[in-house]
């Protein structure tokens, strides 16, 4: 194994992968909720299924990046295998990792006009996007100035990875937050 990234940066990246997968699962559950025949909100369903794919793609990109830098995963690797989907639905540990409370896992309550469930889901999605964006920003900060092993006064700046995160992820996160905020604003005017 030739990992040429600092251990702390690798660990934080693995944590970010878990957060991306968690967000993907939440969006997938929202997509499933809004695509039910008794809810029938195909626009919301498409939005959330697309968002789930995007978050899963983020996790995939981070895994590929770690592999490019020498991190190898075996079939029993804990990066993915310790995400218990059933547990995720029942408990709020992953929600806490995203900076959210337990309520984000509950399906929105359908209302007579159908707007409340959509608005509630969008507000939760915006909170998730803020939390994921903040997590990426913290990852960038940590990988910019990680202490060199055993040397208190020397830091290692992983310029390549920081540039990758800034270019590939942050722009998309900011656009995604803006899109959701716009949808909330539009829906609020109805």
DSSP 102: G
Residue 149 tokens read as 């092993």
Query: Is 94 labelled a binding residue?
Result: no
Token pair belonging to 23: 């967000």
**CB-neighbour burial class of residue 69 (10 A; exposed 0-12, middle 13-18, buried 19+):** middle
Residue 129 counted as an annotated binding residue: yes
Collapsed DSSP state (helix, strand, coil) of residue 154: strand
Instruction: Give Cβ neighbours of residue 110 (< 8 Å, ≥ 6 apart).
Output: 38, 39, 116, 117
Question: Could you tell me which residues are beta bridge partners of residue 151?
Answer: 148
CA distances, 188 to each of 33, 128, 167, 183 (Å): 21, 19, 32, 8
Binding residue per annotation — 173? yes
Q: Is 11 annotated as a binding residue?
A: no
Please check if 20 is assigned to a binding site: yes
Residues making up the binding site = 20, 55, 58, 129, 173
Residues making up the binding site for Fe cation = 20, 55, 58, 129, 173
């Amino acid at each position: 194994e030739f990992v040429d990234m600092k251990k702390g940066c690798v660990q934080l990246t693995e944590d970010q992968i878990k957060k991306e997968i968690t967000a993907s699962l939440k969006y997938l559950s929202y997509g499933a909720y809004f695509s039910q025949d008794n809810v029938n909100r195909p626009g919301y369903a498409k939005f959330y299924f697309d968002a789930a794919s995007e978050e899963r793609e983020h996790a995939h990109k981070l895994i590929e990046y770690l592999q490019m830098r020498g991190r190898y995963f075996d079939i029993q690797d804990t990066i993915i295998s310790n995400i218990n989907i059933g547990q995720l639905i029942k408990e709020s540990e992953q929600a806490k990792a995203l900076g959210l409370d337990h309520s984000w896992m509950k399906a929105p309550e359908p209302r007579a006009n159908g707007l409340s469930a959509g608005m509630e889901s969008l507000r939760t999605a915006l909170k998730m996007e803020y939390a994921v964006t903040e997590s990426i920003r913290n990852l960038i900060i940590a990988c910019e100035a990680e202490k060199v092993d055993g040397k208190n006064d020397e830091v290692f700046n992983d310029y390549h990875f920081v540039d990758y995160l800034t270019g590939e992820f942050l722009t998309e996160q900011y656009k995604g937050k803006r899109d959701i905020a716009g949808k909330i604003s539009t829906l609020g005017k109805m």
